[in-house]
Structure 1
Amino acid sequence: MLDRFRDRPWLAALLIALTAQILFMVHLGRPDVLMFDEVHYVPAARVLLTLDHPVNQEHPLLAKEIIAAGIALFGDKPWGWRFFATLAGTATVAGVFAILWLTFGRLRTAAFGALLVIVNQMVFIQARIAMLDGFMGAFTILAMAAMLWAMRARTGRQTRWRLVLTGVLLGLAVGVKWTAVPYVAFAGMAMIVVRLRNARLSGKGWASVLSSRNQPHWPEIATIPALLIVGLVSIAVYFVTFAPAFFYAHQPLTIATLLPFQIEMWKLQTEVLAAHPYQSQWWSWPLMLRPIWYFYDQDMGSWRGVILLGNPAIMWGGLPALIACLIAWWRGGGLRQLAIVLLWVASLAVWAIIPKSLGFYYYYYLSGIFLCLAIPAAFNHFGKGRWKEADEWFAILALGLFIYFYPVLSAGPLAGRMAFAHWTWFMSWR
């Protein structure tokens, strides 16, 4: 089936993205009340529409601006709160397709990864709720795709504009949530590592790393100007996202208070918070020891639930896939598999380092998406001979589990108050 799209990968990506968008929008109005952290961000978006005063100051403004735009377009109701989150989910699916296509050049691998993102369950849930992480994830994934696109530019002009796009997307990601900041650094580190490797393989001196001459990746631009483009553009875009705050009727931002306000945000984000029943430690997230019930109550005449729980096939199966990627790299498979492993490790290590008093499973959101890169990467390397069709069987398993969990992912009507027990395999899932 994929053969007909071999020369038109963009069409395959478009069809997959359209499928994802339709899936994310089905029954988007369930539940028809605020759930979980929507109680923070939807009221903040309502106030933002009035430009009255600052609220929810521990996070930047962009996600709340996007939610406010949805309310302005579709009304103060579930579709208004959540519609743009569905677009973020679809953009994430398309971004993963682009990353895998640009990395491996195989339509099968790219389509497989995009399918895994659709059914990894975390993306589905965050695409149907007015929270921050879905938007942050979308901009971060798209920025990674843009960085790879710039890497494969053919002219200096293409390189520069694609790096500008990378900086814009990274700035938007940080404008949603500060946890995207490390990915700005990761982008710079990736360029330096690739150019160091190119210098070693070509036998050139280390000075060539900084040069713009004869660069096979990000051509016709020197390393320091390239890093400055990404860094400075991302910083500028980040600060532009605060523009509405300059027009508050009460306590507006000013040029003089913009930087001090960042310090206040840092203080709010690092303050010690009271214990929460759904809190969990970063090391527990890959094992899915403590998922989160975003909603479980009577709504629209039935008991309904929404549990943030990753697809077991992907979340648990992704861990041996990471090991397989390491083996592939060790056997001379190149840096591609290693880069994906390091990306997953870094995404989890961030939470082990930053001074947050509480952790929650949804912090694993980006890491879960990176597993949807690792699994196709592993099958791309080892899926040969009798294992040639193994990725199809894995996709069927992941899809089957998604269908099994769908009632408690989509707030579908349940049999009764205790119906959740059917899907909670372990006591810690309750």
Structure 2
Amino acid sequence: MLDRLKALGTRPWLVALLLAIVAQALFLVHLDQPSVIMFDEVHYLPAAQALLDLSGPRNVEHPMLGKELIAAGMALLGDNPFGWRIASTLFGTATVLGVFAFLWLLVGNMRAAVVGAVLTMLNQTVYVQARTGMLDIFLGAFLVWAIVMLLWSMQGTGKAVWWRWIAGSALLGCVTAVKWAGVPYIVLAALSFLVIRARDARLAKKPILSALSGKDQRHWAGLPAIPAILAMGVVSVVTYFLTFTPAFFYTTDPLTSLGGLFSQQIHMWQMQTQILPHHTYQSSWWSWPLMLRPIWYFYEWDRGAQRGVLLIGNPLILWGGLVAVAACYWAWFRDKAIKPLSVALLWTGSLAIYVVIPKSIGFFYYYHPSSIFLCMAIPIAFQHFDRGRNRGWEEWFAALSLLVFGYFYPILSGAPLADSQGFTHWMWLGSWR
């Protein structure tokens, strides 16, 4: 089926446009289900309204960019379910397109790129987050596009290398301006740059210090290492602090100086590291790949029917993706295949972050970026082990994923259920209740 896309191989923008239309339509259908605030929207929607009114600080434990984006949607469509969630749908679509762009740049294969984008639409965590007024969909979209820009910079020449690097750095600043969980990605990006440069020097049989030069480099040609890392740090930090501009215009408790801005960061740190009470839906990082504790964002009577919204991944994609990550590591061990290794490391690093982040409790929605990287690993693993035989296994995998998505759709979308116990049909594990 996807062989027909070969004719579009020189027109990836057209394919991206088609994917954007499909993804946006999927996320918009019945966006007003449920018609009331659900789960952590209770924190972020009032904070977004406070930004619109400039009435004063709300939800100060997180930076401001995600709430500013929600506020932009509310300013556009009003204080209603469409206004609350429209920005999330747009960034859900951006996530799908980011996966397409990443895979297209990484392997230049239309089948892999389209399958990865389709799996991202169907992995269910993106779908639910793209229809909820929370922060994680923004974090995931900015992160994916930061990686895309840095990869594009890696492949560039001349001035394009620098401006793509700066754009990627600014996007990393945006990730952090949504949630502080973005900070480790800046560190990982800088370390990855140095490791790749050192590897290039070793393969070229050059002194290791030649990796610091911008001359005669295989990757990021013309980009000297120390200025590049300094630029990444400065651009990401400046981008982060610029998002606090509205706080200087509050009518109550406005920021009045840079000192006040820095004091707010200390206060945020204190709130982020405080010991929190037990929560019904809390879970540990090791349980997220196994999907042991999904989260009911909503389960109430609404608009004349029992409705539910469950944040649960597509089992075929999230569990199958673990096999794909293992296969990508095996591809490196057996064949020294760098591209599968890079995707496997993205997933591993995104999960490892939460091993070291000083949070007293965790939740399954923290796994959102990792679930996106699984959608990259699956087509990469299929492509590597297919060995050019064109057997189309990934197409069958995507088709089966669509069937699983359709099976779970009623408890993802807030569709009417039979009665108050209507959810039991989908509860494969006791911990899912």
**TM-score > 0.5 by shorter chain:** yes
Aligned match of 1:198 in 189, 200, 224?
200
User: What do the CA deviations read for 1:72-91 (whole angstroms, capped 9, x no partner)?
Assistant: 11000000000010011011
Partner Cα distance (1:385, 1:7) in 2: 20
1:85 matched to 2:80: no
Match of 2:380 in 1: 377
CA shift, 1:384, in A, is: 3.6
Which amino acid counterpart does residue 22 of structure 1 have in structure 2? Answer: A
Shift of 1:245: 0.3
Query: Does residue 353 of the first structure (1) align with residue 317 of the second (2)?
Result: no
2-structure distance, mates of 1:183, 1:383:
31
Q: Does 1:37 align with 2:13?
A: no
Residue 228 (structure 1) aligned to one of 213, 217, 230: 230
| The one of 383, 401, 420 aligned to 1:398 | 401
* Cross-structure match for 2:176: 174
After TM superposition, the structure 1 = structure 2 runs for residues 302-321 of structure 1, keeping only pairs within 5 Å, are: 302-321=305-324
Are 1:315 and 1:368, in contact at CA under 8 Å, matched by a contact in 2? yes
The SS at the match of 1:161 is: helix
Displacement of 1:332: 2.4
For residues 10 and 159 of structure 1, the distance between their equivalents in structure 2, rounded to whole angstroms, comes to 21
User: Residues 11-22 of structure 1: matches in 2 within 5 Å?
Assistant: 11-22=14-25
> What is the CA–CA distance in structure 2 between the aligned matches of 1:273 and 1:71, rounded to whole Å?
30
User: In structure 2, which of residues 146, 155, 160 is the aligned counterpart of residue 143 of structure 1?
Assistant: 146
For 1:159 and 1:212, locate their aligned partners in 2 and report how far apart those are by CA, in whole Å: 11
Give secondary structure in 2 for the equivalent of 1:296. strand
Residue in structure 1 matched with residue 214 of structure 2 by the alignment? 212
Match of 2:253 in 1: 251
**C-alpha deviation, 1:385, in angstroms:** 6.8
TM normalised by structure 2 equals 0.97
Residue 119 of structure 1 pairs with residue 122 of structure 2: yes
The Cα of 1:137 is off from its aligned counterpart by 0.6
**Counterparts of 1:379 and 1:386, CA distance in 2:** 11
TM score, norm. by length of structure 1: 0.98
Give secondary structure in 1 for the equivalent of 2:297: strand
Contact map agreement 1:289 1:429 (CA 8 A) in 2: yes
Report the residue type matching 1:332 in the other structure.
Answer: D
The equivalent of 1:325 in structure 2 is 328
RMSD between superposed Cα atoms in Å? 1.1
Secondary structure in structure 2 of the residue aligned to 1:294: strand
Instruction: Confirm or deny: 8 A CA contact 1:280 1:358 kept in the other structure.
Output: yes
C-alpha deviations, 1:89-111, integer Å up to 9, x for none?
01100111111111111111111
Whole-angstrom distance in 2 between the partners of 1:221 and 1:288: 41
Q: CA deviation at 1:334?
A: 2.6
Q: In the alignment, which of 64, 69, 74 is matched to residue 72 of structure 2?
A: 69
Query: Which range is displaced more, 327-336 or 227-236?
Result: 327-336
How far apart are the structure 2 equivalents of 1:405 and 1:165? 37
Identify which of 271, 275, 280 aligns with 1:272: 275
Q: Matched residues in 2 for 1:377 and 1:207: separation? A: 33
Paired with 1:112 and 1:363, the residues of 2 have a C-alpha distance of 24
SS of residue matched to 2:307 = strand
Q: CA deviation at 1:173?
A: 1.0
CA distance in 1, matches of 2:345, 2:70: 33
Q: Name the residue aligned to 2:242.
A: 240
Q: In structure 1, what is the Cα distance between the partners aligned to 2:407 and 2:335? A: 39
Question: Which of 108, 129, 134 is residue 132 of structure 2 equivalent to?
Answer: 129
Deviations 1:338-390 (A, max 9, x none): 12112211111111111111111001000111111111110010124777221
Task: Give the SS at the match of 2:280.
Answer: coil
Q: Structure 2: how far apart are the matches of 1:41 and 1:197?
A: 44
Amino acid at match of 1:62: L
Counterpart residue type for residue 32 of structure 2: G
Sequence identity, in percent? 54
Give the match's secondary structure for 1:213: coil
Alpha-carbon separation, structure 2, partners of 1:420 and 1:193: 48
Given the alignment of the two structures, is residue 108 of structure 1 paired with residue 111 of structure 2, yes or no? yes
| Most deviating of 383-392 and 55-64 | 383-392
**2:281 aligned counterpart, secondary structure:** coil
Q: What is the CA-CA distance between 1:116 and the residue it aligns to?
A: 0.6
User: Structure 1: which 5+ residue stretches go unaligned?
Assistant: none
Aligned equivalents of 1:332, 1:10: Cα separation in 2: 32
Confirm or deny: 8 A CA contact 1:51 1:248 kept in the other structure. yes
1:185 maps to what in 2? 187
Query: Counterpart of 2:429?
Result: 426
Counterpart position of 1:49: 52
Retained in 2: the 8 A contact 1:66–1:84?
A: yes
Conserved in 2, the CA contact under 8 Å of 1:383 and 1:391? no
Report how far residue 337 of structure 1 moved: 1.3
Partner secondary structure for residue 52 of structure 1: coil
Residue 287 of structure 1 aligns to a residue whose secondary structure is: coil
